[in-house]
């Protein structure tokens, strides 16, 4: 059996994110995030089990989501192919899907077996993502003001042109104020930081950097995408409650360590695949076009530096 993901794997995996996005899209604006997530999980798992690979779920629908499928440790695929670590988020942005807001996506990330960081028993991570020019200029050890100033120098921009993305949460109010005090702008989003992290690497949406505390599992997923795009990323475990702090310490996590991208995914052979659920800066959401449903997806592969955009039309009657 091959031990490494092959070049066709991304094209196979996109069928699973497309299926998850389509099933989740039936619940857009219906106020039931659990139903949206459940439909996406089932569809993604069904399609993953047809793919020629043996993927161990390192980051899945675990304790936080209380999901019965795609749980950490589950093996997916038909077994006829490379052995891989896999991270899944059938809907990154369940709340925005339920409310009918923008930027929800379905995501899969893959790396060589044994190379993906497992944030066991930890739900949150402090993250910094930007373009490769930021390496050596920005750090989680620096203040937000210093990061803004140093990134502006590295990108040869005026500070007033720098835009920092972060999740709109009360915990980030001091961060927002610091970024604005430095003379930069903020770009706030409601849920899910994977797409914003990609924009921080590519410059899409006029975003220059992602800062702030988001999901730890999404941190490893973002690392696969950042690796594929030759960007720069740091992460640090950030428990948000005494209970989570206790679990993190018991699990042996170093709460002071700053993870570089190679700590989060120790492979240059990563895939990142995503399909839009609702319209966003990165991808269009699932659209009804006559008798067909149209999906919009992206496939990133680190080893080849390939970025593929895929639009597919599915006969709607097959999915209803």
Element housing 187 (H / E) = strand 185-189
Is 280 annotated for ligand binding? no
Residues 36, 110, 56, 42, Cα dihedral to 10°: 20
- Nearest one of 113, 106, 10 to 52, comparing CA atoms: 10
Is 193 annotated for ligand binding? yes
- Nearest one of 26, 54, 55 to 40, comparing CA atoms: 26
Is 117 annotated for ligand binding? no
Is 171 annotated for ligand binding? yes
Q: Which two tokens stand for residue 106?
A: 């379905």
Rounded CA gap, 85 and 118, in Å?
10
* Cβ-based burial of 46 (10 A; exposed 0-12, middle 13-18, buried ≥19): middle
Rounded CA gap, 192 and 157, in Å?
27
Return left, alpha or beta for 213; rule: phi > 0 is left, psi -120 to 50 is alpha, else beta: beta
Is 124 annotated for ligand binding? yes
Is 6 annotated for ligand binding? no
Is 38 annotated for ligand binding? no
Is 174 annotated for ligand binding? no
Is 62 annotated for ligand binding? no
Is 144 annotated for ligand binding? no
Is 61 annotated for ligand binding? yes
Is 218 annotated for ligand binding? yes
Q: Beta strand 124-130 with 209-215: parallel, antiparallel or unpaired?
A: antiparallel
In the annotated binding site for Mn(2+), the residues are 37, 61, 89, 92, 218
In the annotated binding site for substrate, the residues are 92-94, 124, 169-171, 191-193, 215
In the annotated binding site, the residues are 37, 61, 89, 92-94, 124, 169-171, 191-193, 215, 218
């Amino acid at each position: 059996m091959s031990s490494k993901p092959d070049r066709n794997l991304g094209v196979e995996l996109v069928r699973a994110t497309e299926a998850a996005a389509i099933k989740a899209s039936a619940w857009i604006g219906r106020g039931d995030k659990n139903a949206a997530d459940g439909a996406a999980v089932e569809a993604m798992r069904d399609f993953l089990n047809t793919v020629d690979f043996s993927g161990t779920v390192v980051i899945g629908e675990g304790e936080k989501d209380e999901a019965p499928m795609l749980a950490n440790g589950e093996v997916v695929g038909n077994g006829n192919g490379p052995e891989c670590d896999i991270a899944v988020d059938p809907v990154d942005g369940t709340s925005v899907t339920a409310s009918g807001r923008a930027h929800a996506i379905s995501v899969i990330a893959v790396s060589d077996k044994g190379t993906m960081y497992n944030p066991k028993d930890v739900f949150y991570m402090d993250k910094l993502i930007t373009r490769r020019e930021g390496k050596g200029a920005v750090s989680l050890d620096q203040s937000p003001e210093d990061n803004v100033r140093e990134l502006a120098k590295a990108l040869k921009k005026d500070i007033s042109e720098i835009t920092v993305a972060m999740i709109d949460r009360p915990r980030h109010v001091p961060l927002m104020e610091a970024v604005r005090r430095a003379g930069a702008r903020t770009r706030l989003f409601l849920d899910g930081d994977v797409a914003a992290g990609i924009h921080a690497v590519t410059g899409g949406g006029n975003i220059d950097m992602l800062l702030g505390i988001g999901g730890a599992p999404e941190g490893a997923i973002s690392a696969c995408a950042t690796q594929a795009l030759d960007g720069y990323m740091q992460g640090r475990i950030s428990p948000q409650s005494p209970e989570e702090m206790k679990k993190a310490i018991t699990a042996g996590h170093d709460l002071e360590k700053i993870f570089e991208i190679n700590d989060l995914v120790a492979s240059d052979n990563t895939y990142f695949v995503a399909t839009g659920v609702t319209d966003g800066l990165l991808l269009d959401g699932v659209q009804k076009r006559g008798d067909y449903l149209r999906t919009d997806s992206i496939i990133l592969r680190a080893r080849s530096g390939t970025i593929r955009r895929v639009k597919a039309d599915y006969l709607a009657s097959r999915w209803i």
